[in-house]
Amino acid sequence: VTRGPPPLSHTAYSWGSGASSPEAPPGSAEVSGKQGGGGQGALGGQQAVKKGFLAEKATPVGDVSVFLQNRLVETIEQVEKLHRMEEEDEAAPFKHKYAARDLLKGLTRQLAACKAESESLGLAAAWEEGMAGVEHQMGVNLVETEEISAGEKQLNLAIKRMKEASDPNKFVCEILDSTNHLGLIWSQRGEHQKAESFLISATEQYESFVKTKCTDDELVSRIEGLRTTTLFLMAQVYQHLGHPDMSAKYCQITLNRSLKGGLFDALDWTKNAVQLSGYYLSQGRYGDCATCLASAEEVMARIPAEDAEQNKAQVGETLSNLAWGWGKLHTTRLDSAAHGEQGARKGEHEVVVFDLEGVSGRVPEWIGDGIATYEDACREMKAGLRHMDKVRTGFPIDEDCSNHVEACQDISKLYRSLVSFTSSEDDKCKMHKRRIDLLEPLVAQLNIAAYDALCKELRFELGEAYRDMMEIKITQVDSGQKKIKWEKIADLCDGAVRHYRQFARLFQAVPGDPEQAKNPSQVTGLGEEKVRRWYLNARFYCARCLLKRPDPDMAKRKVHLNGALEEYRHIAALAEAHPFKEGQFSFDDELRICKEMVALLPSKIERLRMLPSTPSGT
């Protein structure tokens, strides 16, 4: 993928797919007990990073003035170039950075050798400037080769030297870059408040520079690039400190600055924009969510065809995730509307804007409107389906099973939400039938051992879809709307019971053992209240289905009622053995019903025993 000019600070940060942790330069995690090749302190007169390397023979400096003003600068530029180069050999992940370190060691030896002469020539300030630059680069090098403790110490010493120089303003870029790296180091260590203090310091340095109204365009450009890095790190730190609003704000600013400066990778930018859209979606800020996704779409559209072909797999995955972002937006809007909720009102938040042409044309005009009618809901569902089909295609089940199944679950959610917007019972059944046709083949393909959680989710949802259809059919019969054969209702009931029982068996200590389903003590994995409630709900719904199942054969009818009685007994025993705390997972109402049914059903079953085997209806 075509990139812009290399980052002005050679550290190329990437947000990555998970926003939960700071992304550092590749391989920059702290390595326990590994400190800068065994050294302790700064270079140049201090204890060396590599013990004794100052004693090695230095390359002759020659003309000190030429060395300080030309060759030193050229070598540091070469170091920065090596730092920016991507490592291609996995067996030698820091090959270029170690080459850069060798150059820095050589410069340190030469600087040590010419210190006295530079002072006699009146070049002490130039020498100090050169040594500060080398120390800064060495600190960065140590951090990016996983020698974090040594790198931290080196950066602090470099900052001290630069601030004590005769003209600290000459080191504004180096001090800001070093401060950013220290913020990164402490963030990686989980010390986010300390990381914040370094990033606030970096912000103050930037603001002081802005007040100088510098006219050096190159210097201003470098400082602005470093400022973008500061903002990026602040976005991650505030996420960890529990300030998602501030994190999102800094993320959006970072992305926008990247666009202005042209210093971004299209795929990384898109991943970050999709992540940001997810935050706005969670806050009901649908318009801002759509703006992020549309901007990402525009950025992806600008990738040259040749570059897209060369990075086909990465581009394809990124486009699939982008489509999923759109799909989630439409799914969430429709689901919220189905529950009588709407997004954030216009004017409640500052509107997100990216400096990118072509974005407004990619945002649906109606995305900020409410969903009030069946026509509105159908439009939303069709838009969601269009994007979710791209996701399913982008994540084939034989290559990425989890993502494929989750995409299908989102499609099922679209159908389920649409049910709330139609008064036609037949249309409601059609929506539930589509859910069943979509999900049932999937659960048959999944390996329970590998996809236990997904299997549970699918079994429960399928039980729900069958039960909803059953309830609709029973209502149609009871109200006289429609004549329906009892076998059809019985089939729906059996489908619900089958999936609910398969769901329950996934919690057995020995999966598949029918005897364990009867013994509450043999059920595992119910420690969390929400999981226990989930399990009890499935058993409760299963009992209700058995209770309502029609059958003209009284003997079979009694079997179903006995099955319901066993379910109610199991539920009551488990709920009493493991009571819920008061709160959102309370099971009091359902437990009361279970106890009532345990008391009433035996007499009902006994009455049925006295009746001949004649049709019972529904």
| Residue-wise pLDDT tens digits, 120-163 | 999 988 898 899 899 999 999 999 999 999 999 999 999 998 98
Among 150, 166, 187, give the residue marking a domain's end.
187
Among 187, 205, 223, give the residue marking a domain's end.
187
* Distance spanning both ends of the chain, measured CA to CA: 64
The model's confidence at residue 521, banded by pLDDT at 50, 70 and 90, is low
For residues 387 and 410, is the Cβ–Cβ distance under 8 A?
no
Among 163, 187, 211, give the residue marking a domain's end.
187
User: Is residue 353 assigned to a domain?
Assistant: no
pLDDT tens profile 562-588? 999 999 999 999 999 888 887 778 899
The model's confidence at residue 486, banded by pLDDT at 50, 70 and 90, is very high
Contacts of 522 (CB under 8 A, 6+ apart): 508, 509, 510, 513, 516
User: Is residue 356 assigned to a domain?
Assistant: no
For residues 168 and 218, is the Cβ–Cβ distance under 8 A?
no
CA separation for the pair 237, 21 (Å, rounded): 9
- Which candidate, 569, 557, 439, 408, places its Cα nearest to that of 502? 439
Residue 45 has pLDDT above 60, yes or no: no
State the residue range of the domain holding 84: 1-187
Token pair for residue 238? 């505030």
User: Is residue 19 assigned to a domain?
Assistant: yes
For the chain, what is the domain count? 2
Cβ burial of 535 (10 Å; 0-12, 13-18, 19+) is: buried
Separation in Å, CA 601 to CA 470, 536, 543, 559: 22, 19, 12, 12
CA separation for the pair 450, 461 (Å, rounded): 19
SS3 label, residue 348: coil
User: Is residue 36 assigned to a domain?
Assistant: yes
pLDDT tens profile 248-297? 999 999 999 999 888 789 999 999 999 999 999 999 999 999 999 999 99
Q: What count of residues does the chain have?
A: 618
User: Is residue 25 assigned to a domain?
Assistant: yes
Can you give the pLDDT at residue 3? 37
Cβ burial of 329 (10 Å; 0-12, 13-18, 19+) is: buried
pLDDT tens profile 526-567? 889 999 999 999 999 999 999 999 999 888 999 999 999 999
User: Is residue 517 assigned to a domain?
Assistant: yes
